[in-house]
A and B are shown apart, each in its own frame.
Chain A
Amino acid sequence: GAVVSQHPSRVICKSGTSVKIECRSLDFQATTMFWYRQFPKQSLMLMATSNEGSKATYEQGVEKDKFLINHASLTLSTLTVTSAHPEDSSFYICSARADSNRSYNSPLHFGNGTRLTVT
């Protein structure tokens, strides 16, 4: 159980275009999902916390107009990278914690990540 599906796994786009990444919790509901960015050989950087039915909470230094987050349902959050530039190339990972187990003792469940390459 507790599967998070992230799509696409890889995407290549041209500079200036927009790319949408989907994150779905397949067998649980998640009011809150998290979006991370991972640079090569580095740790996870939390970009934003996605909240169902309300605005996302962005971490300091993350441009909310560039990284649009929509959490339209209890099982789906999307991250759209707008007007992509080569420096946006990275590995993006989403995660969620089941609503039925929101204790701080419970772990995060991660998607398999999306490798974005902007040419």
Chain B
Amino acid sequence: GDSVTQMEGPVTLSEEAFLTINCTYTATGYPSLFWYVQYPGEGLQLLLKATKADDKGSNKGFEATYRKETTSFHLEKGSVQVSDSAVYFCALNLAGGFKTIFGAGTRLFVKA
């Protein structure tokens, strides 16, 4: 069935380190792909999205490229900050569907 798999956390980095959070998906057709971020005690917010193959989503220094050949949508940031500490969710919307399928979430801790 349709699913999203992302790397298990927690991920602990020092400030200014490079971040990669892996995300792969299984889906029929051509889904839209999203990264959401959840700060402590809050709901989720959209971080970035990509709607077709080779699209790159970017926001707040984060980037992810929709790779259809590897069914991946890895999240990257060149230099993380303490304020980036949060849980990051990879998700997809199926073409023609209405539900969003979420990965398990990856918790990121950034140390000063």
Q: What is the CB-to-nearest-CB distance from A99 to chain B, in angstroms, rounded to a whole number? A: 12
Which residues does chain A contribute within 8 Å of B44, judged by CB atoms? 44, 93, 95, 108, 110
CB distance from B112 to the nearest CB of A (A): 23
- Chain A residue at minimum C-beta to C-beta distance from B46: A107
CB of B93 closer than 8 Å to a CB of A: yes
Nearest B residue to A32, CB-CB:
B98
User: Which residues on B are within 8 Å of A, measured CB to CB?
Assistant: 31-32, 34, 36, 41-46, 49, 51, 89, 93-100, 102-105, 107
By a CB distance below 8 angstroms, the chain A residues around B43 are 4, 6, 93, 95, 110-113
Please list the 6 inter-chain residue pairs (A to B) with the smallest Cβ-Cβ separation, ordered nearest first.
A110-B43, A104-B93, A107-B46, A43-B104, A110-B44, A112-B43
> Which of B31, B89, B96, B98 contacts A44 (CB under 8 A)?
B89
Chain A interface size, as a band, is: 20 to 34
Give min CB distance, B40 to chain A, whole Å: 11
Beta-carbon contacts of A89-119 to B below 8 Å, as 1s and 0s? Answer: 0000101010000101111111111010000
Contacts of A105 in B (CB 8 A): 32, 49, 51, 93
